[in-house]
Chain A
Amino acid sequence: MESVRYEAPRELSAAIELLDSVEGARVLAGGTDLLIQLRAALIQPSLLVDLKWIPELTAVSLDEEGLSLGAAVSCAELREHKQIERLFPGLYESAELIGSEQIQGRASVGGNLCNASPAADTVPALLATGARCVVAGPGGTRTLPCERFATGPGETILGRGELLVSIQIPKPAPGTADCYLRLIPRTEMDIAVVGAAVSVTLDASGSCTDARVAQGAVGPTASLVPDAAAALVGGVPDVGRLEAAARAAAGASRPIDDKRGTVRYRRKVTGVLTRRAAEIAIERARQRTR
């Protein structure tokens, strides 16, 4: 454990200044990954910049445009916004699945993105909603789709001095609903072996007009599966479309063998969870079109 400083700036610009000017500075949001990495000496930052006193990073707002979620908002706080559960049940349940109550009291959706674990629970759910990331840095602010944020395990597009400010999720079209499912051996406290998120939009006739399918823990980053989404779109989702989506998802997965699962198992379960998540999302969307 090497010496490290701590700062808790009150303004975004101050945080950017610190991150830009101090070699080896790291941001601290919920800390549930950072503290473990720190203790295991996997990282040796010179400065920790606590983001939780910066208004832009702790704000939650929901309006006609959609949801704006500050990057440091804890999962527990997110869960207190019942409107988020109504609009984005998949995202909501992904935040509810991360670790324990204690972990959710600290861990943020933004941190889940920035940690860039392939198995992050909220990331496939974000991808399914079409969420965008707002990134600020010395050069100003940019936004990009969440699916472009992580570039590999633990790797993101963030440059020096840059930080994730918020996540913007467009208000879903009428008849839209999402779902996130993951497979873990226990009922709680495990890292996802497979994660699958599906968002569908149904028209009044029950026909699927739009869909997004995402998967986690089966590739270097969480990713969208356009072929699986395409399989769902263009008619009333039936068993054939669901199976096609499941096959596409399983086929698109690029899992590895590790202590949590095998390639064979993960690929199979990717299909199973994609089908089940789609079924739930479709049922939720149907209730909304009624």
Chain B
Amino acid sequence: MAKGQKKFRSVGTRPIRHDGIDKVTGRANYGADFALPGMLWGGVLRSPHAHARVLGIDASKALEIEGVKAVITSADLPVIEAGDGPTNFWDLSRNILARDKVLYHGHAVAAVAATTAVIAARALERVEVEYEVLPQVQDVMEAMSPDAPLLHEDMFTKGLDPKPEHPSNVARRMEIARGDLENGFAQANVVVEREFTTRSVHQGYIEPHAVVARTGEDGQVVVWCSSQGHFMVRQYCATVLGLDTSQIKVIPAEIGGGFGGKTTVYLEPLAILLSQRSGRPVKIVMSREEEFRATGPAPGSRIRAKLGARNDGTLTACEAQLYFEAGAFPGSPVMAACMTMLAPYTVENLSLVGYDVCVNKPKTAAYRAPGAPIGSFAIETLIDELAEMLGIDPVDLRLHNAAHEGSQAPYGPKFRRIGYRETLETARAHPQYRTPLERNQGRGVASGFWFNAGMQSSAAVNVNEDGTVQVVSPNPDIGGSRVSLALMAAEELGIDVERVRPVVADTETIGYSDLTGGSRVTFATGMAVVEAARKVIEQLRERAAKIWGIDVSQVEWNEGYALPGQGNGEHDPLSLAEIATSASRTGGTICGNVSLNARGAAPGFATHICDVEVDPETGRVEILRYAAVQDVGKAIHPSYVEGQMQGGVAQGIGWALNEELVYDEDGVLENPGFLDYRIPVASDLPMIDTILVEVANPTHPYGVRGVGEVPIVPPLAAVANAIYAATGVRMRDLPISPPRLVDALDGKHSG
């Protein structure tokens, strides 16, 4: 029987998370909470220039200070070849410690270890670096001009035919195209073409990066750190340092937020090297300033987009060029933006071209649905404009063009069962959509899409001798995944979730798993847990069969009990606990281990409604009401699904209204702190209503779709569309900060 038709006993309930008490009492250990006897404190020297040649580094004066135990530079790192994998280790190595050139203000140049943090800081001041300052470039369009200063003199744009003769800051050109663009626009009765600008924003997790590394005399390395994947940390450190993977053990700390920003390494290789050099454990904790200066932002961008529709609302063609700032090294999510921006719609003719452009800013890192919010901001704003021009309700216009089962995604495949239409219909029926608005108030709607990911996951389900159960996860729990995995194990086994204890294992005690990211853990690791639990059930049935002396095929597993099939004699049902207690006599420990490469991740769609009030004299925007509707497949723990949606909305609102990394004319970051990098505070937001639409993912045993990424996609346009409705001014330049909005409003009135 398909699970989807069954009433769940655990899945869909809202138990208290198992790691909760540790987290409300301060007992939980995050990255910076770990210490070892004899531990040294490390610090990182960072470039004061946005672009400069490093002519020489002299650390001798630093080493003279009592208590300084080691100083390292890029000369201490092995030279890495680029390789073919998804991660460019040539770049990664040079991002960890600059070699030859510094490419952004904050680029690491050297690192020290000393007996105290203060001595380490004093030592950094005595490391002498000779720079030849070079012209630098911050803006993506300027970086593309032929006379722009080159970050990488040997980089030639990929994806051009013929291969270019001159090097460029454009790392790659990518294109998605189908249909006949000219014909598509010819069919259109209305066409809008606009330019959009967004600025670099930061993930803004509250916990800074932190690490402790210890090297033994045998060369074995132990690393304690918080990350979105300790297997990633192990692999990256091994590659960058030229160590065997088996030489490194990474023990995951609790992670204090990541949102994609902890999917790479910055400090870990430095701490390992310093530990190797000093023979002592080394701890490094980033300051908030370092976080903003040197860890991955999401890209600033420029987009030109053109969208056409017939009078009945049918979208006929879309053409767009997207220019994304990759930062110091290639790898912006511009392709993902191209792939996602039109995914909710069935547009037959399109050409979406993306450019990945290096600028003198930190290398961008993933940030929640990487690329998608930026592309969607453009498309969802254009759709709002078309809706107004055509006199069609913006939700109806989207419904008219909505992707559905069997329609072809712009990036290739045909969608299986998806719930986009359902989100639109639910939004249209939501009371907020009809709440009357007053003067200076406006309502905006926008939709969003994210692929969601599967990839490699491992899990173990171990039955203890008293019938309690350990679920062993390979993924750092960034927002409640322990309890979600435990719920799925409890559901399969038919026991209470309180009897299941989920743990996050280190790299030596569970099989390899990919990152916590891409909204994949509840889906993919969840599948591994379900399969492992099913293996356990097989063993439980075998044991019961043995106890009863009947064939295993005659034993059913139901709600936590083994039952003898009809005609197999009178036997009392055996509980999981009873079988577990006797396990040593019936064949030994009962456990299930599964490693899989999960396929069938199902995309997520969302539609948001935002109501704002604008103070036309000051340009301040208040979010009055917000409703987020999302197809979540199946909510395993609905509270944490709602929480993901609310958190994504809050980040999206911050992106829309106030967040931006501000660089001065020399490429120096002017706001490297939470004072002037303005993430939303509690008093900035209203309650965020969440409506969970559950269109089951047919490939997951419970119908799970990833939920974490989609909610950050719609808010940028939802807010901008609401501001338009309130003021009559279209804001296509993010963030819509008060000065920018006042300028636009005054421009409207004077012009």
Chain A in direct contact with chain B (Cβ < 8 angstroms): yes
Residues of A bordering B, CB below 8 Å: 1, 183, 185-191, 193, 259-262, 264-265, 268-269, 272-273
Given contacts A183-B738, A269-B618, contact A259 B681 (CB under 8 A): no
Size of B's binding interface in residues, CB under 8 A: 26
Cβ-defined contact, A186 with B678, below 8 A? yes
Asked whether any CB of chain A lies closer than 8 Å to the CB of B675, the reply is yes
B257-288 CB mask vs A (1 if < 8 Å, else 0) is 00000000000000000000000000000000
With A1-B121, A259-B662 known to touch, is A185 a contact of B681 (CB < 8 Å)? Answer: no
Assess the A259–B671 pair: CB atoms within 8 A: yes
Give the distance to chain B from A48, nearest Cβ to Cβ, in Å: 16
Contact between B118 and A187 (Cβ–Cβ < 8 Å)? no
User: Which residues of chain A are near B683, meaning CB under 8 Å?
Assistant: 186-188
Q: Which residue of B lies closest to A99 (CB)?
A: B675
Interface secondary structure of A, over-half rule: loop
Chain B residues positioned under 8 Å from A265 (CB to CB): 619, 738-739, 742-743
Q: Are B675 and A183 in contact (CB under 8 A)?
A: no
Complex Cα distance A1/B114, Å?
14
* B16 shortest CB reach to chain A, Å: 28
Could you give, for residues 621-657 of chain B, a 1 whenever the CB lies within 8 Å of some chain A CB and a 0 otherwise?
0000000000000000000000000000000000001
Give chain B residues whose Cβ lies under 8 Å from the Cβ of A262.
739, 743
Which residues of the other chain, B, contact A259 by a CB distance below 8 angstroms?
662, 670-671, 676
Dominant secondary structure at the B interface: loop
Please tell me if B617 contacts chain A, counting CB pairs below 8 Å.
yes
Residues of A within 8 A of B244 (CB): none
The 3 closest A-B pairs by CB, nearest first: A265-B739, A187-B683, A272-B617
Q: Which residues of B contact A272 (CB under 8 A)?
A: 617-618
Docked Cα-Cα span, A259 to B121, in Å, equals 28
Check B681 against A268 for contact (C-beta < 8 Å): no
Whether A191 contacts B617 in the complex (CB less than 8 A), given A185-B738, A262-B739, A265-B738, comes out as no
Give bound CA distance, A273 to B620, whole Å.
Answer: 13
The CA-CA distance from A288 to B680 in the complex, in Å, is 38
Q: Is the CB of A1 within 8 A of B620?
A: no
Assess whether B742 is in contact with A189, with CB atoms less than 8 Å apart: no
**Residue B312, interface by CB 8 Å:** no
Which residue from chain B places its CB closest to the CB of A194 in the assembled complex? B618
Interface status of B88 (Cβ within 8 A of chain A)? no
Residues of A within 8 A of B746 (CB): 268
* Known contacts A1-B121, A185-B657, A259-B662; is-contact A191 B675 (Cβ 8 Å): yes
Whole-angstrom CA separation of A190 from B675 in the bound complex: 6
B662 contact set on A, CB distance < 8 A? 259
Chain B minimum-CB-distance residue to A193: B738
Question: Given contacts A1-B122, A189-B675, A269-B742, could you give 18 more A-B pairs where the C-beta distance is less than 8 Å?
Answer: A1-B121, A183-B738, A185-B620, A185-B678, A185-B737, A185-B738, A186-B684, A187-B681, A188-B683, A190-B675, A190-B678, A191-B676, A259-B676, A261-B738, A264-B743, A265-B738, A265-B743, A273-B618
Compute how far the CA of A261 lies from the CA of B742 in the bound complex, rounded to whole angstroms: 11
For A181, give the chain B residue with the smallest CB separation: B618
Offer 13 A-B interface pairs, CB within 8 angstroms, sorted by A: A1-B121, A183-B738, A186-B683, A188-B683, A189-B675, A189-B681, A193-B738, A259-B662, A264-B743, A265-B742, A268-B742, A268-B746, A269-B738
> What's the Cα separation between A272 and B675 when bound, in Å?
24
In the bound assembly, the distance between CA atoms of A268 and B618 in angstroms comes to 8
A183 with B618: in contact, given A262-B739, A265-B738 (CB under 8 Å)?
Answer: yes
A212 to B398, CA, bound (A): 56
A269: which B residues are within 8 A, CB to CB?
617-618, 738, 742
Q: Could you tell me the distance between the alpha carbons of A273 and B619 in the complex, rounded to whole angstroms?
A: 13
B671 to chain A: closest residue by CB: A259
| Shortest beta-carbon distance from B378 to chain A in Å | 24
A264–B676 alpha-carbon span in the complex (Å): 20
